[in-house]
Structure 1
Amino acid sequence: MKELLATATAAAHAAGKLITENFGSELTVNEMQRHDIKLELDVRSQKLITDMILARFPDHAILGEEGGETGGNGDIEWIVDPIDGTVNYFFGIPHFCVSIAARKRESKELLIGVIFDPMQNETWTVIRGEKPHLNGKPIAVSNRAEMAEAVVTVGFSKSKEALDLGFERYKRIAYEVRKTRMLGSAALAMAYIATGRLDAYVEEQISLWDIAAGQLMVEMGGGKVMLKPSTTKPGTMFICASNGKLPIEEYL
């Protein structure tokens, strides 16, 4: 698994360099959606990551946000988000990252994960069965167990149904916690929980590539991740990730 992690880290850093070099420049928009933006740079970043992974593991499969599944039929599947937080990136908000995970293809067991924030030069890494690390130092979730002490991020998804559910959930949570935050990157939200900066993250409608690396980090850091099919869009998931100590499920 160390080879997988080394490859993922190198690919995340290479993609991070690419997107940082283009941050603040004029960007080519492939698709402008109601609540999302798709950039040509997303595609280019994913291709860079794909090429690096397949050069080392040509039989592996790659499932990415841009372009679906590519690669071979091997027993390892990579899950890639080339820019998580694209809307932030497009508007010049320096809160986005590259997220790469690998899992067993048949069992879906996550093996490794890397999240790289190139603007802060922060690299989160994790191997199943080991503590996650931030820039080489071990990290763990917070010990906060009371909602009144907690800082929680609530994501707002890309459909009216998901937004409506999110508003109601946010109202229930916001009254109980110390602070809420809306940051715009699911992967970084998960990394922040694994680091103890945030205590929980909730969103109605999320995709696998947004949270795969972060899920393993939170779980290996001592936290808890609850996933279930979203009621608002087929193929997406509802997520509640936490430090495993907050009674956040009571407010969902």
Structure 2
Amino acid sequence: MNELPPGKSGRSALEVAITAAKEAGEILLAHFGATRRIKHKSKGNLVTDVDILSEELVLKLLKDEYPDYNVLSEESKFSSPIAGHTWIVDPLDGTNNYAYGIPFFCINIALVVDKDILLGVTYDPVRGELFQAQKGQGACLNGSVICIPKVDTLQTSLVGLDLGYDE
């Protein structure tokens, strides 16, 4: 695995991503169900003021720890190609659900180096579920190793799919 330097505080990149996701989750929960400003980015694709609040917090935490790393975030205007160390952030995955009071949303944070995914964190603040994975080290849910059953056919699989809203 590509060894990552610690952040400015001495914490690992995974620890920093987990902290950022959990703190963003607190913001999302604090505002969930409240009236908010909603904008339409495109047909069926919403952005709320809470998307922006969550993004600002996550980006600040990541940039404070790793100021030289690039960031690609859903709500920011970042158009450079992914090169070098790059954080990829969705500060509110499930904005449509969130905006309409449906409690299925999360925060996603990943770190890539030259398109090689090194780690990922998904946090569901409603259920308190934290998924984390590091390249070569497997994945965990709330600290317990996730074991994926071997399946050979689609008939014995469970598949979730969201085709999105854009035409």
TM over 0.5: yes
Q: Which protein, 1 or 2, shows the higher relative CO under an 8 Å CA cutoff with sep ≥ 6?
A: 2
Name stretches of at least 5 consecutive residues in structure 2 with no aligned partner.
5-10
1:30 is aligned to: 39
Match of 1:40 among 28, 39, 49: 49
Deviation per CA, 1:124-154: give whole Å up to 9, x if none: 1111110101100110323232322222222
Q: Which residue of 2 aligns with 1:82?
A: 91
What are the equivalent positions in structure 2 for 1:47-86 lying under 5 Å apart?
A: 47-69=56-78, 75-86=84-95
The Cα of 1:111 is off from its aligned counterpart by 0.9
What corresponds to 2:130 in structure 1?
Answer: 123
Instruction: Kindly indicate which of the two structures has a greater share of residues assigned to helix.
Output: 1
CA–CA distance in 1 between the matches of 2:104 and 2:150? Answer: 25
Question: What is the TM-score with the length of structure 1 in the denominator?
Answer: 0.58
CA RMSD of aligned residues (A): 2.0
Q: Which runs of 5+ in 1 are unaligned?
A: 161-252
1:67–1:32 CA distance, 2 compared to 1 (3 A): closer
Matched residues in 2 for 1:77 and 1:32: separation? 24
Assess if the C-alpha contact under 8 Å between 2:42 and 2:166 holds in 1. Answer: no
CA contact (8 A) 1:61 1:76 kept: yes
- The question of whether the paired residues in 2 share the 8 Å contact of 1:61 and 1:69 is answered with no
Q: Which amino acid aligns with 1:156?
A: L
How high is the TM-score relative to the length of structure 2? 0.86
Corresponding position of 2:163 = 156
**1:32: Cα distance to partner?**
6.0
Check whether the contact 1:98–1:116 (CA below 8 A) recurs between aligned residues. Answer: yes
Instruction: Specify the code of the residue in structure 2 equivalent to 1:43.
Output: I
CA distance, structure 2, for counterparts of residue 14 and residue 85 of structure 1: 17
Cα shift at 1:101 = 0.3
SS of the residue 1:152 aligns to = coil
Separation in 2, partners of 1:29, 1:159? 17
Structure 1 residues 1-252: aligned runs within 5 Å? 1=4, 3-31=12-40, 33-69=42-78, 75-104=84-113, 107-160=114-167
What amino acid sits opposite 2:97 in the alignment? N
Query: In structure 2, how many angstroms separate the alpha carbons of the residues matched to 1:33 and 1:41?
Result: 18
Deviations 1:26-74 (A, max 9, x none): 111133642121111111111100000111111111110011339xxx9
Which residue in 1 is equivalent to 2:7?
A: none
| Partner secondary structure for residue 69 of structure 1 | coil
State whether residues 38 and 99 of structure 2, in contact with CA within 8 Å, keep that contact through their aligned partners in structure 1: no
Q: Secondary structure at the match of 2:55?
A: helix
Displacement of 1:76 after TM fit?
A: 1.2
